Amino acid sequence: MSIEKVKNAQADLIKLRELTGAGMMDCQKALKEAKGDIKQAQDVLRRRGLDIAKKKSMREAKQGQIVSYIHAGGKLGVLVEINCESDFVARNETFQVLAKNIAMQIAAAHPLYVSSGDIPEQDLAREKAQFAEEVKSKPPAVQEKIIQGKLEKRFEEICLLNQKYIKEDSRTVQDYLSETIAKLGENIIIRRFVRFEVGGTSL
């Protein structure tokens, strides 16, 4: 390999690390699998993060922190509880940055639930009924697919984990959380949150 190619490969490695926060070895493996394509390498790391998160999701997470965020002017505030497996990780800078970013996400994007699984059954049924009414003139064969698509779009609006991450809208909050789980090696759960706005109601 020429000196120029070596320099380019090193630059790509550094760039991928900056974009994802993943370890150098993981970035190197991802770039190799993606044949040097940075975008594909990001997808590789994202998939690995999701796989690791799934494996760790059954592990108990009883430590963590309650983090606050007050928007400039003091008109908007958020409290969010994020759990992990150990106090050591709860004090880790990466975990604390995650918690602060999640609080900012809640302030900016105004989710109503952590995940779609938290939506009350009657509310979900009402949403489905409304969408079914909207597509009743469509062929029966495609109605269910359209309804599912509309539900997923709704989840992106009201469910924190489904939302586009405000600091990088090419990934979701779930992607960001999964990548952090892979990085820290512990199960991390966004347990609950409350959002306050002057003149409004808390959620």
Answering whether pTM is above 0.85, one says no
Residue 154 lies in a domain: no
Assigned domain for 177 exists: yes
Give the CATH number, domain containing residue 183.
3.30.479.20
Question: Is residue 203 assigned to a domain?
Answer: no
Last residue of a domain, one of 28, 56, 84: 56
Kindly list the distances between the CA atom of residue 115 and the CA atoms of 27, 70, 174, 190, in Å, as whole numbers in the listed order: 29, 23, 9, 9
Contact present, 68 and 37 (Cβ < 8 Å)? no
Distance CA 89, CA 180 (A): 11
CATH number for the domain spanning 34: value is 1.10.8.10
Helix and strand element counts for the chain (H, E) = 8, 3
Per the structure, how many domains does the chain have?
3
Same domain, 106 and 167: yes
pLDDT 10s per residue in the chain (203 long)? 566 665 666 777 787 777 666 667 778 887 888 888 878 877 777 777 656 656 655 677 789 999 999 987 889 999 999 999 999 999 999 999 999 999 999 999 999 999 999 999 999 999 989 998 888 888 888 888 999 999 999 999 999 999 999 998 888 999 999 889 888 888 899 999 999 998 776 66
Distances (CA, A) of 154 to 120, 131, 147, 195: 14, 11, 10, 19
* Residue range(s) defining the domain that contains residue 126: 120-148
Q: Token match 């991928």: residue?
A: 16
**Do 193 and 132 belong to one domain?**
no
